[in-house]
Amino acid sequence: MIFHCILLECCNQIQTERTASSIYHLLRGRRSIQTVQDAHLFKLERYFGIYKNLLRNHFNHTMELLQFEGLLKRVNSSQMVYETTPATADWFTDIYKTPFPFESFAGLAYHEIMDPFFDRLLLLIQTLTNSKMDYFSFIPVIDNPVIETWVKVFYRKVKNHEEKYLKIIYQELRNILQYVSSDEAGLFIDRLTGYKNYGMSINQLSSKYNLSVDDVQLIIVNIIHRLLSVLHNEKNNYPFLAYIINDISNATLLSNSAFQTSHLLGQGYSIEKIASIRNLKINTIHDHLIEIAFYETDFPLYHYVTKEEHQDILNAIQKTNSSKLRDIKQQVNNDISYFQIRLILALHHKQI
């Protein structure tokens, strides 16, 4: 049900402006400028990357199911373009009589640090609980050398003090999980692995809590986002959990490639020179600039458009009431490029 709600909310925001593929890429957290830009344009930043292992066939099937139920209408026979129906509003009215954990999702902010944080926490709890019992033949629940190395380094620091740190972890988690429902907290705890007691799989949790596999995964992500939000705002109250993300919490929101372009821009290189240095197309550098514009507070807009062009594009956006580049391009001066339109769109919706 949560998964269906999110799909319908995305469709309601996007309507016919994009195909359903844009929603699929959004939920999986595709690091393309188009997907990042769509997240901002349609106010769907919180859902970016919240379902990274979503399979395309399952996504398509669910969209077709919502269409069959009369909650979506397909408006293009050759492409997966959907719009919500009058029945959707009634459906949402009924659904929102009960609370759904939408408010904690912060996908664009946490999609990169969520996995390392949770993996470290899972393996650390497993390691400390087993070490406390002098049992070292357990199979790690996380098969990731980077995570394993971090936990090994930390374990050496706290060896012989396992009980102390387990109590700290318990207390900090207990305090934060008070922010969620008892069922959600129980589901999260059941996912953890302890001494000779492996955490439940997604399918096992689905069966125990009578939830779909989709909703179990989304609830876990939602709780992790809640944890990260609390740690971000109240890290002094949760020093141990905050320590787990201390070295990853400041990861740049820019993709690695855009970050490199930003560095070269800061050295005074032109777009053309950067494209040459990096052996990339100018259009790729344009994509990087738009990504940079989303996150840079003092982006030098008028290096790339004049004030007149800026206003011309804003007028076209208002007139068309659309984010479709082709519609806007038809309303502006012929000299204005698609790059300039995309740049203004990015900054315009960033300020709304």
Instruction: List pLDDT tens digits, range 249-273.
Output: 545 667 778 889 999 998 999 999 9
Same domain, 266 and 289: yes
State the pLDDT at residue 87: 85
Query: Is residue 212 assigned to a domain?
Result: yes
Place of tokens 């659904």: 95
Q: Give residue 175's domain range.
A: 114-244
Same domain, 86 and 128: no
Query: Is residue 106 assigned to a domain?
Result: no
Over 60: is that where the pLDDT of 14 sits?
yes
Same domain, 282 and 240: no
State the pLDDT at residue 256: 77
CB-based burial, 286-304: b 16+ in 10 Å, e otherwise: bbbbbbbbbeeeebeeeeb
State the pLDDT at residue 255: 74
Same domain, 148 and 215: yes
Radius of gyration of the chain (CA): 23
Query: Last residue of some domain: 53, 76, 100?
Result: 100
Alpha-carbon span 101 to 254, nearest angstrom: 27
Query: Is residue 249 assigned to a domain?
Result: no
Over 90: is that where the pLDDT of 209 sits?
yes
Instruction: Please count the CA atoms within 13 angstroms of the CA of 100 that sit on its side-chain side.
Output: 17
Query: Is residue 251 assigned to a domain?
Result: no
Same domain, 285 and 330: yes
DSSP symbols for 197-263: BPPPPHHHHHHHHT--HHHHHHHHHHHHHHHHHHHHH-GGG-HHHHHHTTTTTT--SS-HHHHHHHH
Cβ atoms of 127 and 169 within 8 Å: the answer is no
Query: Last residue of some domain: 181, 210, 244?
Result: 244
Query: Is residue 107 assigned to a domain?
Result: no
Same domain, 133 and 88: no
Same domain, 260 and 240: no
Output 350 or 169, whichever has higher pLDDT: 169
Same domain, 278 and 169: no
Cβ atoms of 34 and 342 within 8 Å: the answer is no
Q: What CATH number has the domain bearing residue 40? A: 1.10.10.10
Query: Is residue 268 assigned to a domain?
Result: yes
Query: Is residue 108 assigned to a domain?
Result: no
Token pair in block for residue 247: 């070295």
CA-based nearest residue to 2, from 119, 116, 104, 114: 104
Mean pLDDT of the chain: 88
Alpha-carbon span 100 to 46, nearest angstrom: 14
Q: pTM for the full model?
A: 0.82
Token pair in block for residue 154: 């930390």
Beta strands in the chain (DSSP E): 72-76, 81-84
Same domain, 128 and 158: yes
Q: What CATH number has the domain bearing residue 302? A: 1.10.10
Same domain, 86 and 163: no
Same domain, 129 and 227: yes
Same domain, 336 and 268: yes
Q: How many structural domains compose the chain?
A: 3
Residue 309 gets the label, from left (phi > 0), alpha (psi -120 to 50) or beta, of: alpha
Over 80: is that where the pLDDT of 41 sits?
yes
Q: What is the pLDDT of residues 278-333, one digit of tens each?
A: 999 999 999 899 888 887 878 889 999 999 999 999 999 888 887 788 889 989 88
**C-alpha dihedral (288, 330, 333, 352), degrees to nearest 10:** -50
Give the distance from CA 176 to its chain's centroid.
Answer: 21
Token pair in block for residue 70: 């009369």
pLDDT interval class at 102 (50, 70, 90): low
Query: Is residue 250 assigned to a domain?
Result: no
Residue 196 has φ and ψ, to the nearest 5°, of: 50, 30
CA-based nearest residue to 244, from 136, 179, 138, 172: 172
Query: Last residue of some domain: 244, 269, 291?
Result: 244
